[in-house]
């Protein structure tokens, strides 16, 4: 059982996309593509990057094939499949929004 779910057998699918949203028809196609990814079990990693964990290469192939069937006509879509081990080696960095500080009040000096 342990070999069945090891970090080299479990796969991650990453779908990267840049879809046009200039017209109502393009916005609808982009929205439909995102909804189909979510319906298929993908979660948003970043705004245009969705990920899905699969227990095997065979299962990952099913979801890749399903994603390819739902590709919109326009735009750019990339699909990358990697092992859980490779996904775990990803380095993530979260920046902080700069906080505006108030200027301290002017201090008066007495002689």
Mean pLDDT calculated for residue range 91-96? 87
Is the whole-model pTM more than 0.85? no
Q: Is 52 within the bounds of a domain?
A: yes
Task: Tell me, yes or no, whether 93 lies in a domain.
Answer: no
Q: How many domains does the chain have?
A: 1
Its domain, for residue 21, covers 11-86
Q: What gap in Å lies between CA 30 and CA 24, rounded to an integer? A: 10
- For residue 56, is it within any domain? yes
Domain of residue 51, CATH code: 3.30.70.240
Looking at the domain assignment, is residue 59 inside a domain?
Answer: yes
Q: Is residue 4 a part of any domain in this protein?
A: no
Mean pLDDT is lowest, of 61-70, 71-80, 98-107, for: 98-107
Give, rounded to a whole angstrom, the gap between the first and last alpha carbons of the chain. 81
Residue 41 domain flag: yes
| pLDDT for the residue 100 | 78
Residue 16 in domain = yes
Please give the full DSSP string across 26-53, using - where no structure is assigned.
Answer: HHHHHHHHHHHHHHTT-EEEETTEEEEE
Q: Does residue 72 fall inside a structural domain? A: yes
Phi and psi angles of residue 17, each rounded to the nearest 5 degrees, phi first: -150, 150
pLDDT computed for residue 43 by the predictor? 97
């Amino acid at each position: 059982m342990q070999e069945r779910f090891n970090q080299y057998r479990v796969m991650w699918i990453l779908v990267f996309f840049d879809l046009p949203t200039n017209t109502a028809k393009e916005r609808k196609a982009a929205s439909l593509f995102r909804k189909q990814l979510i319906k298929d079990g993908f979660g948003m990693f970043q705004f245009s990057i969705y990920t899905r964990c699969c227990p095997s290469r065979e299962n990952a192939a099913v979801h890749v094939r399903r994603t390819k069937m739902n590709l919109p006509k326009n735009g750019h879509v990339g699909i990358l499949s990697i092992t859980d081990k490779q996904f775990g080696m990803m380095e993530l960095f979260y920046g902080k929004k700069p906080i505006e500080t108030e200027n301290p009040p002017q201090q008066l000096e007495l002689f």
